[in-house]
Structure 1
Amino acid sequence: MPDTASLSIAESRTYTISELAREFGITPRALRFYEDKDMLHPARDGMTRVYSHRDRARVTIIVRMKRLGLPLADIREILDLYGLGDNQRAQKRKTLEKFRKQVQEFEDQREDIEVALVELRKGIEWLEQDLSNVGPTSDDAENVAAYDAVARKQLDEA
């Protein structure tokens, strides 16, 4: 059974914008942006933002879901379902729906990437073959001769 005294101490800890930004590898500007999008609700001490344990948990969710490629609108929708008092059932269902959708999008993108890679490899093969059939241009021959002259000079001086 967890120690409730230590839980309340951890839950009562506050964070500055700099601390959260550093911890999550994001900028303070990103945190202010999430606040503007109504995803975070830090308290204020004068002009200073004071982030709670709950805000930190929300930043954790935001950062993780962004890494998974979810749009901010979807993340906000999931965050908004947290406080319904249904043991997070609605939030978990919505997250499952969004994750399934994201998996499908990634699979579609992977198919598109595979097709593009095949086409690019064909293009590379054709270009390499075509260039070898054409042979060197007069510019190529001049560049080779100039390089050869510089290399011979350096060898002679050594």
Structure 2
Amino acid sequence: MAPHFWIGAQIFLDLLMVALLVWFLRSFSRQQASRDEHESAIRKAESILGEMREVSKVLDANLQEKKDLSNRILTQMDQVLKKAEESYARISSILPKMGRADSPQPDPRDPEKTRSSVYALLQKGLGKEEIARHLGIGTGEIELMMKLWPPEEES
């Protein structure tokens, strides 16, 4: 075998080794870039996880505060309910003694007689307050009668 053959084979092997070396370097650089991306993703995930933990702590604190507030409100409502029940019991015990009225009683006076009495007293010169005291009705009722039923004119 001629030396040219060995030189050619050596050059071919050198080129093959250079090609393999380039391929290994590129493969390694891709792995390094991929590794850097993974590390970057891991750092981002860890920072997000830390923020989530902080938010979780804040939410837990808010939830505890709301529970405490709810408990205080329920306690106050229970106290108010207890006082209301006590007041109801006292009122219920007092009402029978006072002669409890189940429904308002109608006015026993005849409205026509009352109206004629009001106008008769007005003609005598009494004021609304005096008429109200004399008949036992309110001044507003007298004023209403005067507006709704004007005095009957004498013929």
TM score, norm. by length of structure 1: 0.31
Structure with more contact order per residue of length (Cα contacts < 8 Å, sep ≥ 6) = 1
TM score, norm. by length of structure 2: 0.32
Which structure shows the higher helix fraction? 2
Larger radius of gyration: 2
